[in-house]
């Protein structure tokens, strides 16, 4: 655990994005997680993704619940507004915030304990409402802050550090999200930044709820032999089924890139996700086929990763709610208070 502050001086040769910001401007404070924690790799991927997308940091709301993973919003986007809420309840905070201010970008960072046990209900309902946000589950199969209890994502047969074996079946966030009708589902591995960064960018650009399950090994409590969420086991069992690339708005898609088996999906902001199935016949726009492929991989002890499902033309909570385009927080008082004449007219019917 490192407690030293980062130097604030930037090297003059650092590259800048179209906002004139360097990648350093997208960093946060020093991580206090264990050295080698998978979560820190995810944080690095987030920094790179936000930098490359050139999103204004203060237009981002970063939210979390409680747990090791939920500490990470402090480690990226110093200038974004952060909300470290209560255990398992981040989805409701994000839902209310998004209802009030649709003009912001929302990213929620949670863990398997926070999302799949105490917060399972809220996660399901945020998916169901299609809240416009990227929701990352930093999935390590254990409770870290309380020292190594199994979480609900622990696989059957996985062993705890002290040798205890888990016998209950896991709740798989990907299968859950697919069955609940999530409009964007991806899975990745904290150790594969090349795969993770485009997935994060695609998730941020997706209109609606984007769930990204990231296997993120816990070096302290779940990285031993016998664990199915260790670095070694994860490297051995991940099978990328779809390779995704993300093309931001205004980038021309060259014909050569779109050739062969590459498919493009246009996002609501004009950007494009291109994907290439690695597994034969895999189609991430076909929910049923995707689901059955993922399940069959799982039965073989493999973890399917990549952009697993995307719904083209997805809408979000605001279309269900028919809210005005303008963020509700930007409405003037005169636009929401009807005034005395209306009050008097209403009361004529109450006599």
Residue 142: φ, ψ to 5°: -140, 165
Report DSSP state, residue 278. Answer: S
Of 92, 63, 72, 83, the closest CA to residue 28 belongs to: 72
- Under the binding rule (CB under 8 A), the answer on residue 274 touching another protein is no
Which part of the chain contacts another protein (CB under 8 A), choosing from 261-269, 272-280, 285-293, 336-344?
Answer: 336-344
Residue 343 token pair: 């009050």
Minimum distance between the CB of residue 186 and another protein, rounded to whole angstroms?
24
Q: Which helix (H) or strand (E) holds 113?
A: helix 112-116
Radius of gyration of the chain (CA): 21
Figure out which of the listed residues 30, 54, 81, 289 binds another protein, where binding follows CB under 8 A. Answer: 81
- Under the binding rule (CB under 8 A), the answer on residue 122 touching another protein is yes
Q: Are 90 and 65 in contact (CB under 8 A)?
A: yes
Q: Are 238 and 305 in contact (CB under 8 A)?
A: yes
- Under the binding rule (CB under 8 A), the answer on residue 46 touching another protein is no
- Under the binding rule (CB under 8 A), the answer on residue 31 touching another protein is no
Name residues contacting another protein, limited to 303-332 (CB under 8 A): 318, 321-325, 328-329, 331
The CA distance from 347 to 335, in Å, is 21
Figure out which of the listed residues 4, 13, 256, 340 binds another protein, where binding follows CB under 8 A. Answer: 340
> Which lies closer to another protein via its Cβ, residue 14 or residue 343?
343
Minimum distance between the CB of residue 200 and another protein, rounded to whole angstroms?
20
Minimum distance between the CB of residue 332 and another protein, rounded to whole angstroms?
9
> Which lies closer to another protein via its Cβ, residue 98 or residue 158?
98
DSSP letter string, 210-259: EEEEEE---TTTS-STT-TTSHHHHHHHEEEEEEEEEE-TT----TTTT-
Binding residues for another protein, total number by CB under 8 A: 59
- Under the binding rule (CB under 8 A), the answer on residue 24 touching another protein is no
Residue 90 token pair: 């981040």
Minimum distance between the CB of residue 224 and another protein, rounded to whole angstroms?
30
Rounded (5°) CA angle 188-231-198: 20
Counted residue by residue, the chain has a size of 351
The CA distance from 75 to 20, in Å, is 21
- Under the binding rule (CB under 8 A), the answer on residue 100 touching another protein is yes
Figure out which of the listed residues 181, 270, 301, 338 binds another protein, where binding follows CB under 8 A. Answer: 338
3-state secondary structure of 70: helix
Minimum distance between the CB of residue 25 and another protein, rounded to whole angstroms?
10
- Under the binding rule (CB under 8 A), the answer on residue 280 touching another protein is no
The CA distance from 84 to 92, in Å, is 12
Figure out which of the listed residues 45, 104, 215, 308 binds another protein, where binding follows CB under 8 A. Answer: 104
Name residues contacting another protein, limited to 281-300 (CB under 8 A): none
- Under the binding rule (CB under 8 A), the answer on residue 59 touching another protein is yes
Residue 110 token pair: 């949670």
Contacting positions for another protein (CB under 8 A): 56-59, 61, 73-74, 78-86, 89, 91-101, 103-104, 121-122, 124-125, 129, 318, 321-325, 328-329, 331, 333, 335-340, 342-344, 346-347, 349-351
């Amino acid at each position: 655990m490192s407690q030293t502050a980062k130097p604030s001086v930037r090297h003059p040769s650092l590259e800048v994005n179209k906002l004139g910001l360097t990648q350093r401007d997208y960093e946060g404070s020093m991580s206090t997680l264990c050295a080698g924690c998978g979560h820190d790799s995810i944080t690095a991927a987030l920094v790179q993704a936000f930098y490359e997308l050139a999103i204004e940091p203060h237009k981002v709301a970063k939210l979390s619940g409680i747990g090791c993973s939920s500490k990470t919003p402090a480690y990226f986007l110093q200038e974004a507004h952060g909300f470290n809420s209560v255990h398992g309840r981040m989805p409701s905070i994000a839902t209310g915030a998004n209802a009030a201010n649709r003009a912001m970008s929302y990213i929620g960072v949670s863990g398997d304990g926070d999302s799949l046990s105490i917060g399972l209900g809220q996660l399901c309902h945020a998916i169901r409402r299609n809240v416009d946000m990227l929701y990352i589950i930093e999935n390590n199969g254990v409770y870290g802050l309380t020292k190594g209890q199994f979480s609900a994502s622990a696989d059957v047969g996985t062993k705890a550090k002290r040798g205890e074996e888990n016998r209950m079946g896991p709740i798989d966030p990907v299968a859950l999200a697919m069955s609940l009708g999530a409009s964007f589902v991806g899975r990745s591995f904290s150790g594969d930044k090349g795969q993770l960064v485009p997935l994060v960018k695609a998730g941020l650009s997706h209109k609606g709820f984007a769930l990204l399950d990231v296997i993120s090994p816990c070096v302290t409590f779940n990285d031993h032999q016998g664990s199915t969420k260790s670095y070694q086991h994860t490297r051995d069992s991940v099978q990328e089924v779809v390779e995704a690339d993300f093309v931001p708005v205004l980038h021309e898609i060259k014909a050569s890139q779109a050739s062969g088996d590459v498919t493009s999906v246009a996002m609501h902001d004009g950007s494009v996700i291109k994907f290439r199935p690695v597994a034969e016949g895999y189609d991430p726009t076909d929910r049923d086929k995707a689901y059955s492929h993922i399940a069959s991989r799982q039965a073989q002890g493999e973890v399917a990763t990549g952009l697993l499902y995307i719904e083209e033309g997805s809408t979000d909570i605001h279309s269900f709610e028919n809210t005005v385009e303008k963020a509700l927080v930007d409405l003037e008082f005169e636009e929401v208070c009807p005034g005395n004449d209306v009050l008097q007219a209403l009361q004529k019917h109450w006599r």
